Amino acid sequence: MHAVILAAGQGTRLNKNLPKCLIEINGVTLVERQVAIFKSVGIKNITVVIGNGGVWTPEHHKLINNIKGIIVIINERSIGTQSPYSLYLGIKDINDSIIVIDGDIVLEESTIKALSEIEDKSILLAKWNEDGTGSKVIFEENKKKSYILTQMSDQIISEYVYAGVIRIDIKIINLLREILGKGKFDNEQLEMPISELLNHTRIECIKLLSNYEGNELLELAVMAGGSYSKTSKVLKGKNKLPMIRKEITPQGESKLIDEIEWITNLPDPVKKHFPVIISQNINLEPTYYEMPCYSFPTLRTLLMDGEINSGEALQYLTKIFDFVFKELYTEKQPIRRNYIKEIHLRKIFTRLHETKNMVYSFRELIDAEQLIINGKEYTNILPIISQISQNGKIINLISPTSASRTHGDLHFDNILINREKDDFILVDPRGNFDYDITYDLGKIWHSCHGLYDFIHSGKFTIERDGLKLDYRFEESDSLKEYNIVLQSLPSLLIDYDEIKNDDSWLIKTLFSEASHFASVAPFHIKMDGNENLAILCYIRGVELMNDFYELALEKVKSEQVIEGHLINVNTSEDFQIAQIKFK
């Protein structure tokens, strides 16, 4: 590993008649600080490219040459060229991975250490765009693993800019040298040759943030988002240890505080299957908590990638059900009044209203009375929940009799599997104290019945023509394995008392699943002109809510037939019941 410090700048904006790299902070020049940091993290091959003419004098050259253990290269054309030419001079004879840093950058040793320990990747450091200046960068998420740099220019709009540090892997050092050697970028900013690199190779991006204590924090990737929260992988502290951070926007602050309290107050035997909270901040924005960076894959990943089959997945689900039913759901309490309307129906209405305000194209979709999905006509969600809210028999049918502590988001991607120890961790709990168990079961069905995992992973095609929508899931072995898991779930659950003693557990679960789909769209809106993922979540909600409603009506009718002896035929429903009862 080599380090190249680009220090040929004139520093004219500082009005100090001194190269910027020789500015002192507490008696130590910037370049001396940088060299010391590189040496402290084990990088001994350090090249400093300096300027000539202008503010650069022989005395300044002497000061640089007096720094021990570095190679000094003078850019004789520094007044007429920019940093790409200095970089070319610096890497002409290097055939190794390098960290390139602007000569006016001050940063923590641990940040350079973290970059030096990354292997086989080229990585650009980005920071928050505070003053609107600098080379702006745009990046996209890569399946929870990293950010991928897609654009770099001072002509684009972005919240982030180049932070003056980039790691170039050995695999592309020759390509970079070839690009720079052509000379066409000698008078350009560094963004130009980096943009050229992007046409040939992949460069990842790390966000350089600051925590509330003012220390540098590196965000490697966003792991999840939703409900006004963001879960990301970060490197933090003096040693830049990897952690998972969940932080919240002001709208969801009280919710995250409840979640922290929920995890903290779990009984000791239960805590072993939930994340450990290492640190938290609830007094200053942003509100967050941090947990270890568990290296275990999720149940979703294992199933979708074919690393386990349905049989092994069901073995883990058996363990999980044993745990939640025997240890998590044990403390029962009375259900809150108007539970269905408060927990489900109001949330659906609020989220759909929020979705319409976010994306204009969703308004037609949500406000329509009917939609045609895969050639079949469905009543839309808002008319159905209006009918449900006015149907006391259906409300009674799906209302739980008791509440308990629940996970609140128990889908397959929140289940980490430790295959080596045949164990699991349930991450990202919502911290619910007074929900019913079918809320959790609805999330399980959400994964393998509604196939949210395939939607979230982009394994679908969808076409829309106004209110007509057609979609298909990609055929795969994993889709078949998911179906096997779904068909096996009732047999896994039937022996638990809460299931055995509730004839309506499945229809309650199906309603919870439909409710989850109906309310999830705003958390998948990207505002990039392509909202297919959010649209498919919504129309799956339409399908599932219709399926549930038909089942609920049939179940209510059948119970009326069994219980009723006299029927006054005033409506078409009365007529249908009479036909069943009096054959």
The 8-class DSSP code of residue 334 comes to P
Same domain (yes/no): 270, 309: no
pLDDT mean over 19-43: 94
- Which of 282-291, 321-330, 387-396, 417-426 is predicted least confidently? 282-291
| β-sheet bridge partners, residue 161 | 127, 136
Q: How far apart are CA 403 and CA 560, in angstroms?
A: 27
| β-sheet bridge partners, residue 287 | 248
Of 176, 210, 244, which residue sits at a domain end? 210
Same domain (yes/no): 317, 265: no
Same domain (yes/no): 165, 261: no
Same domain (yes/no): 401, 255: no
Q: What is the domain count for the chain?
A: 3
pLDDT at 550 exceeding the cut of 50: yes
Same domain (yes/no): 198, 261: no
- Which of 75-89, 122-136, 237-251, 401-415 is predicted least confidently? 237-251
Q: How far apart are CA 72 and CA 53, in angstroms?
A: 16
Q: Return the pLDDT at 65.
A: 94
pLDDT mean over 548-562: 82
pLDDT at 564 exceeding the cut of 70: no
CATH number at residue 483: 3.90.1200
Question: Within 9-70, where are the H helices?
Answer: 30-40, 58-65
Q: Return the pLDDT at 232.
A: 82
Q: Return the pLDDT at 562.
A: 46
Q: Is residue 46 part of a domain?
A: yes
Same domain (yes/no): 323, 365: yes
- Which of 31-40, 355-364, 452-461, 499-508 is predicted least confidently? 355-364
pLDDT-derived band of residue 85, with 50, 70 and 90 as boundaries?
Answer: very high
Report the share of the chain in percent with pLDDT over 70: 90
Q: Return the pLDDT at 250.
A: 63
pLDDT mean over 187-210: 91
Same domain (yes/no): 21, 102: yes
Q: Is residue 266 part of a domain?
A: yes
Cα→Cα distances 536→46, 131, 223, 232, Å: 53, 39, 21, 25
Helix H, strand E, coil C: the string for 143-168 is CCCEEEEEEEECCCCCCEEEEEEEEE
pLDDT mean over 487-501: 95
For the entire predicted model, the pTM comes to 0.75
Q: How far apart are CA 340 and CA 346, in angstroms?
A: 9
Q: Return the pLDDT at 42.
A: 94
Q: How far apart are CA 537 and CA 411, in angstroms?
A: 15
pLDDT at 249 exceeding the cut of 80: no
pLDDT mean over 213-221: 71
Same domain (yes/no): 320, 242: no
Q: Which residue has the higher pLDDT, 325 or 226?
A: 325
Same domain (yes/no): 371, 499: yes
Q: How long is the chain?
A: 583
CATH number at residue 121: 3.90.550.10
What is the domain extent for residue 249? 224-292
| Helix-then-strand count for the chain, H and E | 22, 24
Q: Return the pLDDT at 426.
A: 96
pLDDT at 575 exceeding the cut of 70: no
Per the listing, tokens 């036909």 go with 579
CATH number at residue 259: 3.30.200
pLDDT at 144 exceeding the cut of 90: no
pLDDT-derived band of residue 559, with 50, 70 and 90 as boundaries?
Answer: low
- Which of 154-168, 435-449, 465-479, 515-529 is predicted least confidently? 515-529
pLDDT at 339 exceeding the cut of 60: yes
Same domain (yes/no): 308, 337: yes
pLDDT-derived band of residue 84, with 50, 70 and 90 as boundaries?
Answer: very high
Q: Which residue has the higher pLDDT, 560 or 295?
A: 295
Q: Is residue 576 part of a domain?
A: no
Q: Return the pLDDT at 117.
A: 87
- pLDDT tens digits, 533-545: 999 999 999 999 9
pLDDT mean over 485-507: 95
Closest CA to 109 of 21, 209, 35: 35
pLDDT at 15 exceeding the cut of 70: no
The 8-class DSSP code of residue 565 comes to S
Q: Is residue 580 part of a domain?
A: no
Q: Return the pLDDT at 498.
A: 95
pLDDT mean over 389-394: 94
- The whole-chain average pLDDT of the chain stands at 89
Q: Is the Cα dihedral 546, 547, 548, 549 positive or negative? A: positive
pLDDT at 424 exceeding the cut of 50: yes
Q: Are 94 and 173 in contact (CB under 8 A)?
A: yes
pLDDT-derived band of residue 508, with 50, 70 and 90 as boundaries?
Answer: very high
- Taking phi over 0 as left and psi of -120 to 50 as alpha, with beta for the rest, 5 belongs to beta
Q: Which residue has the higher pLDDT, 559 or 28?
A: 28
Q: How far apart are CA 488 and CA 481, in angstroms?
A: 11
Q: Is the Cα dihedral 550, 551, 555, 561 positive or negative? A: positive
Same domain (yes/no): 279, 335: no
DSSP 461-527: EEEEETTEEEEEEPP-HHHHHHHHHHHHHHHHHTTSHHHHT-TTHHHHHHHHHHHHHHT-GGGG--S
Q: Return the pLDDT at 530.
A: 81
